[in-house]
Amino acid sequence: MKSKVKFGIGAGIIIVTLSCLAYVGAQQSKTYYHTISEIPTLSAAALHQRVRVAGDVKAGSIQHMSGHVDFVLLEQGKGLPVSYVGTDPLPDTFKDGAQCLVEGKVKPDGHFEAETLQAKCASKYEAAPGQAKPAAPAAYSSDPKSKS
Amino acid sequence: MDLFGSYALLLAFALAIYAIAGGIAAVITRRPLLIKSARNAGFAVCALIWLAFGSLVYLFFTDNFAMAYVAEHSNRNLGNLYKFSALWSGQQGSLLFWSFLLSIYVFSALFAYRGKHPELMPYVGVVLASVQLFFLTLNNFVASPFTVLALPGAGGVLHLASQVDGHGLNPLLQYPEMVIHPPVLYSGYTGFTIPFAFAMAALIGRYPGEKWIHLTRKWTMIAWCFQSAGILLGAHWAYAVLGWGGYWAWDPVENASLMPWLTGTAFLHSVMMQEKRGMMRVWNVWLVFTTFLLVIFGTFLTRSGVVSSVHAFAQSSIGTWFVGFLIIIISACLIAFLKNRDYLRSDNQLDSMISRESSFLFNNLILLVACVAVLSGTLFPVLSEAIRGTKISVGPPFFNRVNIPIAMFLLFLTGVGPLLAWRKTSAESLRKNFGWPLIGGLATAVIAVAFGLREFYVTLCLMLSGFVTFTVFSEFFRGARVIAARTGSNLISSAAQLTMRNTRRYGGYVIHFGMVLVFIGISGQAFNQDKQMEMSPGQSASQSLSRSPGVGGAAQAGLYNQGKPAEMTTGSVMTIGPYTLHLQNFDSDQQANYSSERATIDVDKGGKSVMMLYPQRRFYPSNEESGTMVAISSTLKEDLYVVYAGRSPDSNLPVIHAYLNPLVKWIWLGGLVVVLGTILALLPNRQAVMVMSPAAESSPILGGDGRQPARASISARSQLPKDNV
């Protein structure tokens, strides 16, 4: 019985320590998912959070500037001006109409500063004539991994 | 021919239902003929799945683009090897592949134990057929790979529509490793079905004793080996293909493969407590159940898009089926457990904190905590949405903070466990056993710090690695010395004999050593460096590329060393660690299946040109996707990893991203050692052959396969009757 208690204490210490570490780690790395329509309604505190937004790239909105690339992300008719400031070159799939996932911060003026960007060509499967389903679900292993 | 496979699958579905119904009837009535009939149905299900799989292979190799699945995942110009791997590159095919691999396991298990264990096997057959039935349901009715492309014609008639060419295989999958990684990993996933079925069968059938553990031990080890190799192959694929300089990103898909590995590892250790001391019966049954649940959960996670990641683009209704199946399994496990738990009572209690048992208990606890941490981190967006209404994801810092200390503690236990005795360890044996390993570990740490190492975790990791390595070698040494003293052979052949006499134990030590290598390799990550810059080429792009690296490289290196490298005319220079990279040229190339842009980079080290690297970027017109071909120069010390990241949109110059990753090669080497160790542990123990008369002792008697003489010793002789039982 005594050994069981000792083991219980040891287990408790381990679990508590790891939970604390998990909490710190979660605070450090958490990213909030928002839809584009939610962005204007965010409180001031949310400006410091890392945010992830998904949408489609508005046709003709991509502008290459020096040091950043500006475009507009669309979701259900709402637009969000995004400026990509990341260091990695843009993926080749980043085109007009592409599905796009950006991560970064909302700036006080309402535009989104993206540090990472992932894009997938939306038209990939639609060209197939007579296909039963418009977009086949991608294989689990076929997607590029997140860099963050 | 097109529809051959789908008929085979339908028939397999019907027979799986019969195998379950017949199996249940057989369990109730105990009629031998019924038992046999249910088993034969099980064989037939497997054979039909093989036929369906073969039919899909045939459709791929005959470029049958009337089939939706083939048209979507293959094209004419695709190489043969990739036509084969395209089979499992999509949802439908990979699920059929799941069924296929599972059926190999099921067939082998049913075949290996045919006519044996009549109290247990009918139950096993029912559980296996039920799992198969679930996947056959998906194969037949939810995600059939045998869908035919059709166009609606006049009067609602559908016309068969064939495409001229397919969409092609995702370029990220056009890499040799992607041909072996999924089969290996799936073999791991599916393999855990066997121990699950036996555990469930033993529980429902109240099969006495630890027999199911003995029966499934090798199956679990095979699955575990595949899972370990599969995870590492996947990591290596991510490293070599995805071009982000790392091999593990705590992505949901990676986590999905890691979780059953963690519980499977816990199980492999805790069964020893059940075998040796009759403890942990409830725990072990639940570990097997959990491992199987995590296998199905992982399959679900990677296919349903439930967790938002890069993979979130894939949305599919198949998730509902998996959730249903998971609920059924959990209910079945709970009901079976609650009804039969009295049969799982422990014979013994934990005697002492300093004992082998307690080290296993901590090992299990910590592996489970790691699994829970990985699970909750993976499901964080789902959980946070359910609890607080906002979707929040957590990134690598969360996983690393929890799992690095866990990994260190595990490493510590790996060193400590084998040195502790069962039940209780005396202070004297502690001193005796721990002396050398402890000194070895501390010496490693001192040397590391003397060489300027200041990272806390890396130093700790090296110290523990030293400790475990010394433990492993001292175990071999102590055993070998005894044999050497008795037989007079040298230490190395004694060690080999020792290993072959107890392959499980010494194979286990080899696995431990392999894990040490993996941990050392991972710890190198603390010193990763990377640099990215736009580079202008040294030669004008019009000049033809010198394809022989020796000549061109040396000449260029000489030029750069004299001139000023920063000048535009001589091209850009990047320095990372001891290496200096000169972009010499970039050119493009046209292949049948893709076009590529390639950078030619001359690498200098210490003022001398040491090699040429050719990072590539490929574009695949068939599906309008591009892929990177990373150039990696790998040594035991470090990897130089160079990516052609694309053209800068401003200057149109190539952007080169270089990484210097120390010790990465150790991970792959460690993985190899782990696999070899597992194979060793799977070998049957060689019995020390009994000597007929003492006079024969001088002439060596050949062991079972005649490779090495196994001599009898007094201890071997006295052990023999016990081992034979």
Q: What's the pLDDT tens digit per position in B529-544?
A: 888 888 887 754 333 3
Q: What is the pLDDT of residue A123?
A: 42
Looking at the complex, does the CB of residue A24 fall below 8 Å from at least one CB of chain B?
Answer: yes
Residue A71 has phi, psi (to 5 degrees) of -160, 175
- Whether the predicted pLDDT of B423 surpasses 90: no
Mean pLDDT in residue range A27-53: 81
Q: In this complex, how many residue pairs, one in chain A and one in chain B, have their CB atoms less than 8 Å apart? A: 200
A4 and A51 belong to one structural domain: no
The token duo for B642 is: 């160079």
A43 and A12 belong to one structural domain: no
Average pLDDT, chain B: 82
- Indicate the length of chain A as a whole number: 148
Q: What is the pLDDT of residue B717?
A: 36
pLDDT band at residue B305 using 50, 70 and 90 as cut-offs? low
Question: Which residues make beta-bridge pairs with A104?
Answer: A51, A114
State the virtual CA torsion across B553, B557, B563, B565 in degrees, nearest 10.
80
Quote the crossing angle between the two packed helices B318-340 and B193-204, to the nearest 10°.
40
pLDDT band at residue B324 using 50, 70 and 90 as cut-offs? very high
Contacts of B225 (CB under 8 A, 6+ apart): B188, B674, B675, B678, B679, B682
Mean pLDDT in residue range B383-401: 86
Q: What is the pLDDT of residue B289?
A: 95
Looking at the complex, does the CB of residue A23 fall below 8 Å from at least one CB of chain B?
Answer: no
**Candidates B162, B179, B280, B353, partner chain A, best to mutate (most A CBs within 10 A):** B353
Tell me which chain A residues have a C-beta less than 8 angstroms from the C-beta of B94.
139-140
Distance of CA B629 to the CA centre of its chain: 23
| Positive/negative CA dihedral, B696, B697, B699, B704 | positive
State pLDDT tens for residues B426-441: 777 777 878 888 888 8
pTM, two decimal places = 0.85
Quote the CA–CA distance of B110 and B40 in Å, as a whole number.
9
pLDDT band at residue A116 using 50, 70 and 90 as cut-offs? confident
Question: Which residues make beta-bridge pairs with B530?
Answer: B659
Answer whether residue A145 is part of any domain. no
- The residue of chain A with its CA nearest to that of B246 is A147
Query: Are B648 and A142 an interchain contact pair (Cβ–Cβ within 8 Å)?
Result: no
A55 and A113 belong to one structural domain: yes
B80 compared with B704, residue with greater pLDDT: B80
Cβ-nearest to B90 among A101, A136, A145: A136
Least confident of A97-101, B158-162, B430-434, B595-599: B158-162
Residue closest to A35 by CA, chosen among A74, A8, A67: A74
Looking at the complex, does the CB of residue A43 fall below 8 Å from at least one CB of chain B?
Answer: no
Answer whether residue A148 is part of any domain. no
pLDDT band at residue B566 using 50, 70 and 90 as cut-offs? very low
- Whether the predicted pLDDT of A61 surpasses 90: no
Question: Which residues make beta-bridge pairs with B631?
Answer: B642
Looking at the complex, does the CB of residue B181 fall below 8 Å from at least one CB of chain A?
Answer: yes
Quote the CA–CA distance of B69 and B151 in Å, as a whole number.
16
A45 and A66 belong to one structural domain: yes
A123 compared with A32, residue with greater pLDDT: A32
Answer whether residue A114 is part of any domain. yes
Quote the CA–CA distance of B87 and B73 in Å, as a whole number.
8
- Could you tell me the maximum CA-CA distance found in chain A, to the nearest angstrom? 73
Looking at the complex, does the CB of residue A33 fall below 8 Å from at least one CB of chain B?
Answer: yes
Answer whether residue A136 is part of any domain. no
State pLDDT tens for residues A132-146: 333 333 333 333 333
B75 compared with B512, residue with greater pLDDT: B512
Q: What is the pLDDT of residue B510?
A: 94
Quote the CA–CA distance of B64 and B72 in Å, as a whole number.
11
For residue B173, what is the DSSP state?
G
Query: Are B91 and A90 an interchain contact pair (Cβ–Cβ within 8 Å)?
Result: no
Query: Are A88 and B532 an interchain contact pair (Cβ–Cβ within 8 Å)?
Result: yes
Q: Which of residues 342-371 of B touch A (CB under 8 A)?
A: 349-353, 358, 361-362, 365-366, 369
Question: Which residues make beta-bridge pairs with A101?
Answer: A54, A118
Quote the CA–CA distance of B356 and B418 in Å, as a whole number.
7
Mean pLDDT in residue range B523-531: 88
- Whether the predicted pLDDT of B597 surpasses 80: yes
Q: What is the pLDDT of residue B644?
A: 87
Q: What is the pLDDT of residue B104?
A: 96
Cβ-nearest to A145 among B170, B249, B316: B249
Answer whether residue A144 is part of any domain. no
A20 and A70 belong to one structural domain: no
Mean pLDDT in residue range A30-55: 81
Residue closest to A53 by CA, chosen among A110, A95, A103: A103
- Whether the predicted pLDDT of B253 surpasses 70: yes
Q: What is the pLDDT of residue B156?
A: 59
- The residue of chain B with its CA nearest to that of A10 is B362
Cβ-nearest to A25 among B89, B181, B400: B400
State pLDDT tens for residues B481-490: 888 888 888 8
A59 and A110 belong to one structural domain: yes
pLDDT band at residue B704 using 50, 70 and 90 as cut-offs? very low
Q: What is the pLDDT of residue B96?
A: 93
pLDDT band at residue A147 using 50, 70 and 90 as cut-offs? very low
Answer whether residue A88 is part of any domain. yes
A50 and A3 belong to one structural domain: no
pLDDT band at residue B301 using 50, 70 and 90 as cut-offs? confident
Q: What is the pLDDT of residue B293?
A: 96
Quote the CA–CA distance of B76 and B165 in Å, as a whole number.
6
Query: Are B398 and A29 an interchain contact pair (Cβ–Cβ within 8 Å)?
Result: yes
Cβ-nearest to B350 among A4, A121, A136: A4
Whose tokens are 């909302």? That residue is A106
Q: What is the pLDDT of residue B710?
A: 40
Looking at the complex, does the CB of residue B653 fall below 8 Å from at least one CB of chain A?
Answer: no
Beta strand pairing status for A78-84 and A112-120? parallel
Contact B380, B393 (CB under 8 A): yes
Q: What is the pLDDT of residue A134?
A: 30
Q: How many CB atoms lie within 10 A of CB A126?
A: 11
State pLDDT tens for residues B605-616: 888 888 899 998
B633 compared with B709, residue with greater pLDDT: B633
A18 and A47 belong to one structural domain: no
State pLDDT tens for residues B58-82: 999 988 888 888 888 888 888 888 8
- Whether the predicted pLDDT of B722 surpasses 50: no
A66 and A10 belong to one structural domain: no
Mean pLDDT in residue range B138-142: 90
Looking at the complex, does the CB of residue A22 fall below 8 Å from at least one CB of chain B?
Answer: yes
A63 and A111 belong to one structural domain: yes
- Whether the predicted pLDDT of B527 surpasses 50: yes
Q: What are the Cα distances from residue B174, in Å, to B55, B72, B230, B302, B625?
A: 22, 15, 17, 20, 12
Answer whether residue A96 is part of any domain. yes
Query: Are B646 and A11 an interchain contact pair (Cβ–Cβ within 8 Å)?
Result: no
Q: Exposed, middle or buried by CB within 10 Å (0-12, 13-18, 19+), for B331? A: exposed
A22 and A70 belong to one structural domain: no
Cβ-nearest to A66 among B352, B353, B650: B650
- Whether the predicted pLDDT of A129 surpasses 50: no
Query: Are A15 and B369 an interchain contact pair (Cβ–Cβ within 8 Å)?
Result: yes
Quote the CA–CA distance of B588 and B652 in Å, as a whole number.
14
- Whether the predicted pLDDT of B576 surpasses 70: yes
Question: A109 vs chain B: nearest CA distance in angstroms?
Answer: 23
Domain extent, residue A18, equals 1-26
Whose tokens are 């295989």? That residue is B169
- Whether the predicted pLDDT of A78 surpasses 60: yes
Answer whether residue A84 is part of any domain. yes
Number of domains in chain A: 2
Q: pLDDT exceeding 70 applies to what percent of chain B?
A: 86
Least confident of A112-126, B224-238, B707-721: B707-721
Give first-to-last CA distance, chain A, whole Å: 47
A109 compared with B323, residue with greater pLDDT: B323
State pLDDT tens for residues B452-480: 888 888 999 999 999 999 999 988 988 89
Q: What is the pLDDT of residue B168?
A: 78
Average pLDDT, chain A: 74
A85 and A121 belong to one structural domain: yes
Residue closest to B66 by CA, chosen among B21, B115, B3: B3
Residue A94 maps to which CATH number? 2.40.50.140
- Whether the predicted pLDDT of B675 surpasses 90: yes
Mean pLDDT in residue range B629-637: 89
Q: What is the pLDDT of residue A127?
A: 30
Query: Are A125 and B624 an interchain contact pair (Cβ–Cβ within 8 Å)?
Result: no
Cβ-nearest to A142 among B173, B244, B398: B173
Q: What is the pLDDT of residue B694?
A: 43
pLDDT band at residue B404 using 50, 70 and 90 as cut-offs? very high
Cβ-nearest to A141 among B173, B309, B381: B173
Q: Using alpha carbons only, what angle is made at residue B396 by residues B393 and B397, rounded to the nearest 5 degrees?
A: 100
Q: What is the pLDDT of residue B75?
A: 84
Looking at the complex, does the CB of residue A145 fall below 8 Å from at least one CB of chain B?
Answer: yes
- Whether the predicted pLDDT of B559 surpasses 60: no
The token duo for B574 is: 């990047």
**Candidates A18, A28, A93, A100, partner chain B, best to mutate (most B CBs within 10 A):** A18
- Whether the predicted pLDDT of B31 surpasses 50: yes
Quote the CA–CA distance of B129 and B567 in Å, as a whole number.
70
Mean pLDDT in residue range B558-577: 53
- Whether the predicted pLDDT of B655 surpasses 90: no
Give first-to-last CA distance, chain B, whole Å: 53
Looking at the complex, does the CB of residue B91 fall below 8 Å from at least one CB of chain A?
Answer: yes
- Whether the predicted pLDDT of A12 surpasses 50: yes
Three-state DSSP state, B498: helix
Q: What is the pLDDT of residue B452?
A: 81
Mean pLDDT in residue range A41-49: 75
Mean pLDDT in residue range B389-407: 88
Cβ-nearest to A25 among B71, B369, B397: B397
Q: What is the pLDDT of residue A25?
A: 87
B487 compared with B565, residue with greater pLDDT: B487
Quote the CA–CA distance of B472 and B514 in Å, as a whole number.
11
Quote the CA–CA distance of B409 and B411 in Å, as a whole number.
5
Contacts of B464 (CB under 8 A, 6+ apart): B408, B411, B412, B415, B441, B519
Mean pLDDT in residue range B169-196: 88
Tell me which chain B residues have a C-beta less than 8 angstroms from the C-beta of A129.
151, 161, 163
B405 compared with A28, residue with greater pLDDT: B405
Cβ-nearest to A3 among B350, B376, B392: B350
Query: Are A141 and B161 an interchain contact pair (Cβ–Cβ within 8 Å)?
Result: no
Beta strand pairing status for A50-57 and A31-33? parallel
